[in-house]
């Protein structure tokens, strides 16, 4: 079944690239049309309603019992690109953001195992490691960037190009990062984006937390603790709202909101 974003923003065939992808972000500057605003609002409402029972169940009764097929931690793939990406985010910091990136890899890989989703481990890992690089202290976008997810995707794509990555990999990673702030990412739009979005929303808001076993969640948190992340992420999102307002073009009425 196609997603609303796929229906509203078809792949470039004389029309627009899919909503939220890097090509869309570069075309639109990360700014939503009225139609796209309704699409995102609809997706956000559906996502919140779908997530609430699981979040409440975990809050009341604790994490899920072990599934019949045990999910296991798998380390990031050891390639030149992933090693360099980890060096980049560690150097950029701060530490809570590095931990978030590594937890996203763990959660994304666990969701891939749970849902039997085939994904290129390197592409998924790069997407997770680099997805919030533009929130690092020395990588913050100015108001002209419009949207940190689109800006971050562009930064990651440029970095991978400089590292000699091939174009299909660059496109997959760029799309995943640009899409990850969407309330929903369908597999037919981006496999990496679908898994990264699930992982990022779990780590920031608890979405789909009831779908992973408690032992797996605890294992991830023991490897990459959440120390300082909630406060940092809240501050960064407040800063992004200020940047988005400053970037809004003047108009006679309300200006188009940014993707994030």
How would DSSP label each residue in 55-109? HHHHHHH-SBPPPSS-----PPP--HHHHHHHHHHHHH--HHHHHHHHHHHHHHH
- At 51 the pLDDT is 53
Three-state DSSP class for residue 120: coil
Q: Is residue 200 part of a domain?
A: yes
Buried b (16+ CB within 10 A) or exposed e, 231-259: ebbeebeeebeebbeebbeeeeeeebbbb
- At 136 the pLDDT is 81
Closest listed residue to residue 181, CA positions, set 205, 212, 157: 205
Q: Is residue 259 part of a domain?
A: no
**pTM for this structure?**
0.78
pLDDT digits (tens, 9 = 90+) for 81-115: 999 999 999 999 899 999 999 999 999 999 999 99
- The lowest-confidence range among 5-14, 39-48, 155-164 is 5-14
- At 180 the pLDDT is 79
pLDDT digits (tens, 9 = 90+) for 126-156: 999 999 988 887 666 555 555 667 888 888 9
> Would the pLDDT of 13 be above 50?
no
Contact 129, 198 (CB under 8 A): no
- At 238 the pLDDT is 82
What distance, in Å, lies between the first and last C-alpha atoms of the chain?
Answer: 25
- At 104 the pLDDT is 98
> Phi then psi for 99, rounded to 5 degrees?
-60, -40
Q: Is residue 253 part of a domain?
A: no
Q: Residue 94, preceding bond cis, omega within 30 degrees?
A: yes
Q: Is residue 241 part of a domain?
A: yes
Contact 191, 171 (CB under 8 A): no
Closest listed residue to residue 217, CA positions, set 93, 67, 97: 67
Domains contained in the chain, number: 1
Q: Is residue 44 part of a domain?
A: yes
How far, in Å, CA of 218 to CA of 212, rounded? 10
Q: Is residue 25 part of a domain?
A: yes
Q: Is residue 73 part of a domain?
A: yes
Q: Is residue 80 part of a domain?
A: yes
How far, in Å, CA of 170 to CA of 160, rounded? 6
- The residue segments making up the domain with residue 237 are 4-247
Q: Which residue has the tokens 């490897």?
A: 223
Contact 57, 210 (CB under 8 A): yes
Q: Which residue has the tokens 């991830």?
A: 220
């Amino acid at each position: 079944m196609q997603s609303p974003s796929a229906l509203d923003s078809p792949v470039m065939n004389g029309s627009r690239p899919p909503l939220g992808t890097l090509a869309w972000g570069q075309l639109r500057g990360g700014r939503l049309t009225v139609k796209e605003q309704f699409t995102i609002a609809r997706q956000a409402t559906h996502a919140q309603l779908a997530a609430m029972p699981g979040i409440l169940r975990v809050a009341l009764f604790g994490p899920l019992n072990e599934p019949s097929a045990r999910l296991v931690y798998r380390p990031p793939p050891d390639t030149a690109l992933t090693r360099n990406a980890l060096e980049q985010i560690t150097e950029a910091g701060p530490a809570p953001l590095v931990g978030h990136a590594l937890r996203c890899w763990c959660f994304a890989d666990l969701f891939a195992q749970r849902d039997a989703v085939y994904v290129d481990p390197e592409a998924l890992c790069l997407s997770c490691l680099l997805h919030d690089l533009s929130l690092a202290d020395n990588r913050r976008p100015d108001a002209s960037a419009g949207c940190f997810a689109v800006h971050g995707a562009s930064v990651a794509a440029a970095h991978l190009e400089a590292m000699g990555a091939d174009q299909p990999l660059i496109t997959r990673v760029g799309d995943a990062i640009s899409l990850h702030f969407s309330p929903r990412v369908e597999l037919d739009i981006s496999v990496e984006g679908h898994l990264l979005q699930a992982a990022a929303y779990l780590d920031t808001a608890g979405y789909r937390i009831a779908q992973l076993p408690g032992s797996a969640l605890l294992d991830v948190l023991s490897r990459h603790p959440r120390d300082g992340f909630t406060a940092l992420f809240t501050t960064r999102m407040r800063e992004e709202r200020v940047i988005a307002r400053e970037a809004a073009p003047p108009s006679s009425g309300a200006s188009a909101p940014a993707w994030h």
